Structure 1
């Protein structure tokens, strides 16, 4: 990509971003749009006013003028307020942006003020005329322009060690901080139903017995002092009768009693009496059950195969998208556009903007599929479904967006390198820098993508089409959506991967990534404040995913750096980089031993302290009574049909 094409992409996306910000600041002021841009605040106001909140307002010129007041409100939002409104998951989500802003602020300073000048002053690409810079390739600013064997490459070597040390320090600090937050959040919480409850699968029912009686006898026999009650799970369907499933939610009198039952095998047969933590009642995905261990195993295998083929299909799509970045390739595919492609503006838009836009649009259709795949696997909770979908999306993003684009068009020409694992660093050193311009354009295009989160375009269009056709009650329940962590977290981590990978190779990408994280920080703070309401709280269990992905990004950067120093005829630097991935993996292993157990289960120390603190609480009697009924399937609850004179609820036939 030439510099002018990059500037065109930057200009277009900057314009779209400013327009979306201005449009949002106007739309949010319109009283009729409160249910779209402030459903959380509207619901809270209606609850406080017993459902009689008025949304009418007199015309004001201020309502049709853009403003930045919402930016100040989002910036002033404290972490304590965020914790109270969005739970620890919301705090962890915003800590990802904080972490990335810290990393790429330092990386940007090193990259722009040290590495970019070093790269630009190189002679490898033999650029003699610098007067016509807009028509030159942005490779001038990459490591490709540094002479082979040049001592200037030691700047890049030093930068690799500095940024690795800094990132590892921040990772440790964040892991420690969020772990402490998780423990303090638990210790400060009121008694929660899922802390006293476990799920038991694979209940062995003998002939002539019932599931309920079997569960009762088993737990009264083995846990007589802590067992409280149980609820057998039923599978309801419009097409089938009510089914008895061999699973139950079992409630205990203490948190420690429930945790003890989870961590000890209950039977010599590992497929019977299988215990696991219960989710919050609001988090249970009631149509979740596959009735047997075999069925769940088969479902996971089918999902694995389907995910694999989805990645293969997307690889073909990525190959087509990559072809758009090369005018000569595009002229071969579409010869009738040859004359049009000679127009400078058209060619710059097509090569600098269109490919990344197409990839953004196509990749946005994948998260619903991954969530569907995770649902098919039989997870018991919406949070577990989203965590599983997050992992699938992460691997899909890494393989189908990053590796697919760096390897497309290069694997065949470098096939002999790919056949020998020893040549993988050399292969990556060749193909990854070649796609620097594409990913810079991809990051720039993402400014518009993240800004479109503000306008909630699809929700707004749906509101405009349905509003004139429907009459809403003043006390009708407001729909408060929840944030899709399974799609948003992998997207953020992709930009972290790109930033660390291209930090050494093409540091020109860093300021654009920094702008993306800055936009995301403000936008998502605003959305969590006004729109998204938590449907569950995992206690920050998404953070280990962030930590592990960042470690992967660092190691990938090290492998590419080893290869690039080899290609640049600086074998000593290549050898001295080798300890870096080893030390990084050792650091990761330490963090796994030190912090991961905190995110898997609470310690006996914490559980017993909480239990002792609740022993003399008068509220516990009422809590135990509600605990018995907390895990009943809503489909089996009696309907409360109140008599009303409203025509919408009157009977179709009257006497």
Structure 2
């Protein structure tokens, strides 16, 4: 790829990103967009304010950048939980390591690459990007020691930073667990594959079993019922409650041009006017549905955390497929529909999902190969002769080769996260957070395979694979192919990185829906969107993919590093803004994304070293090759140390810590209160009666409480708004930090 084509892509993506960021800084100040750019609680609290017209409201301002920058990690932990903090720590780690890599590679490696061969450099804009890669260094060059030295600096720095991040995150995670209110999941064990008995029900079998073996510590249990119909009714009831809260008499009387966006308020009005005895009968019918059939699954609650951990870890039967136990997820995190899956089917489902995922990855060879054909104008002109005249225009050829391939690939890749979420659901995850984590891993493998490996070999995939006579040839072929694809990787960082951040902060889907509701459906007081959880299954793989590309290209093509640094700095600001304003924490994995990040970083380092070993072999530098081998061994040993030292603390909680927490609760007299919470924490249908029978009374009570709370919060936020921003508009929502610090 020519440098001018790459600069065209830089210009297009920079213009899009700057335009959207400026537009966001204006749109977020408009009172009509509160429910788009801020969470439900802040939007409802701020909607009651009267914002005077002001010209400053329509001028871009960097106030959101300042707020995001000043937000501390303690605020992130309080608002988004451990997963949000780990996500931010991944970004901080990436900024630190690539700052080091950029300094060493841009000032030492890049000049060696550029002047690696004896040639006359003419106009730099007409140069190809391969001139800036290691491919431009002549064989047996004495300057290859710079690449080996840079590889050592990057590897040692990455391992050191990883070690300190592990220690910091482990301490924070432990403090977060011990400092949080008592969690029902710490006292509860999920029991699956309860044996069937003709003499007694599943519930009786569970009670008899745990009373026999855990009599001193057993507290209670809750059976899981087949809930497909009931769960749908619960979801509909929650939606009805939200609509009731946001629909006023004025809105219901106005005509609607698009009923699909406005809903049918008359139906809700009919439901609310039903007599109490009718609604009571609805609740009773649902209760009867709930007890239709029990599953061989139960939530068993214990009196202490330590007893629950012991029951979860021990083998309860000679047959490992019976009485299978594990620690229960949090009540709000339970994926009730998957608990009905028989335990014996899980291994079959996992194999089927694995086969389907691999097949989906290979199906994606078609669009990826098409994308790579766009980078080769000669092949494209040969396949489509009628386009030859168009490709003679420089700007069009630069757009086609420098911008279009990455855009098309990104559009195809949008299908991956929802597909992997479906696969993870079929796989049988028992929690929403577990399903999201499983989808995150699948999306990560999928994107690395398609964006890196397939693109490197996609010139002629089958031809490249047939050339491999043995595994030893893999580093050699990767070393030959990567410098030729560095232009695509750089444009991908621009398009999928810079542009995606601006799209993320703009929230175009919710913004468009808000506009349609206001100007077509004529709804003035538009209720805020439902709770949005952070999309870890898409954003974590994107971060790790860019880190993967950064490590691979740092020594071979260091020109990518400045653009990666810009991306990570923008990501640090954008995602912190989204965590404190847009996304709400409904459930979390407890920081389980950090081990995924660690494994990906180690794999990136090892693969970088293997490819460098192949490059040094091609360039006939035995000294550099000899020094690279100990680096690979040292990286693997460091990974094994971290696996033994840090990983167990992310998978389990120490018995010493659990015992101390139990003793503190007993001394503080909180155990009785905890036992009362456990009696209803995992009751599958405890909210149906409230949702369908008492929806009006509950809404009225919440409205009265919400008015009092929002008036106090609005007064506090309004004062902070005047101190921070003179616009007199919606920047007040950023001050969620105020109540937290108190």
| Residues 3 and 477 of structure 1, relative CA distance in 2, 3 Å threshold | closer
Equivalent residue runs for 1:350-389 within 5 Å: 350-389=400-439
- More deviation, 104-113/570-579: 570-579
Equivalent residue runs for 1:154-173 within 5 Å: 154-173=145-164
Equivalent residue runs for 1:476-495 within 5 Å: 478-495=529-546
Query: Which residue of the partner structure matches residue 174 of structure 1?
Result: 165
Query: Which residue of the partner structure matches residue 30 of structure 1?
Result: 30
Q: Is the 8 A contact 1:299 1:376 kept in 2?
A: yes
Query: Which of 182, 185, 201 is matched with 1:194 structurally?
Result: 185
Query: Which residue of the partner structure matches residue 82 of structure 1?
Result: 76
Query: Which residue of the partner structure matches residue 472 of structure 2?
Result: 422
Structure 1 residue 644 displacement after superposition: 5.8
Q: Is the 8 A contact 1:42 1:478 kept in 2?
A: no
Output the CA distance in 2 between the equivalents of 1:267 and 1:644. 49
Unaligned runs of 5+ in 2: 232-288, 698-742
| Residues 619 and 519 of structure 1, relative CA distance in 2, 3 Å threshold | same
- Corresponding pairs, count: 638
Give the TM-score, by structure 1 length: 0.94
Equivalent residue runs for 1:270-349 within 5 Å: 270-349=320-399
Deviations, residues 328-365 of structure 1 (Å, cap 9, x unaligned)? 01112222111001100000011000001111221122
Deviations, residues 260-311 of structure 1 (Å, cap 9, x unaligned)? 1111111111000000110110111111124323322222222112111110
Query: Which residue of the partner structure matches residue 119 of structure 1?
Result: 113
Query: Which of 586, 591, 596 is matched with 2:637 structurally?
Result: 586
1:531 aligns with 2:592: no
1:406 aligns with 2:456: yes
Q: Is the 8 A contact 2:371 2:409 kept in 1?
A: yes
Output the CA distance in 2 between the equivalents of 1:461 and 1:474. 16
Give the TM-score, by structure 2 length: 0.83
> What secondary structure does 2:200 align onto?
coil
Query: Which of 62, 84, 95 is matched with 1:68 structurally?
Result: 62
Output the CA distance in 1 between the equivalents of 2:577 and 2:18. 16
Query: Which residue of the partner structure matches residue 220 of structure 2?
Result: 229
Output the CA distance in 2 between the equivalents of 1:75 and 1:40. 23
Structure 1 residue 576 displacement after superposition: 2.1
> What secondary structure does 2:429 align onto?
coil
Query: Which residue of the partner structure matches residue 624 of structure 2?
Result: 573
Output the CA distance in 2 between the equivalents of 1:83 and 1:174. 16
Equivalent residue runs for 1:599-638 within 5 Å: 599-634=650-685, 637-638=688-689
Query: Which residue of the partner structure matches residue 733 of structure 2?
Result: none
Structure 1 residue 45 displacement after superposition: 2.8
| Residues 246 and 108 of structure 1, relative CA distance in 2, 3 Å threshold | same
Q: Is the 8 A contact 1:41 1:530 kept in 2?
A: no
1:54 aligns with 2:48: yes
> What secondary structure does 1:638 align onto?
helix
1:258 aligns with 2:258: no
Superposition RMSD in Å: 2.1
Output the CA distance in 1 between the equivalents of 2:5 and 2:696. 65
Deviations, residues 14-57 of structure 1 (Å, cap 9, x unaligned)? 111110110000110110100000125525737xxxxxx51542
Equivalent residue runs for 1:506-585 within 5 Å: 506-585=557-636
Structure 1 residue 635 displacement after superposition: 7.4
Output the CA distance in 2 between the equivalents of 1:536 and 1:643. 25
Output the CA distance in 1 between the equivalents of 2:319 and 2:523. 56
Structure 1 residue 102 displacement after superposition: 0.2
Output the CA distance in 2 between the equivalents of 1:148 and 1:384. 50
Query: Which residue of the partner structure matches residue 651 of structure 1?
Result: none
> What secondary structure does 1:289 align onto?
helix
Structure 1 residue 483 displacement after superposition: 0.8
| Residues 578 and 222 of structure 1, relative CA distance in 2, 3 Å threshold | same
| Residues 466 and 306 of structure 1, relative CA distance in 2, 3 Å threshold | farther
Query: Which residue of the partner structure matches residue 101 of structure 2?
Result: 107
More helix by percentage = 2
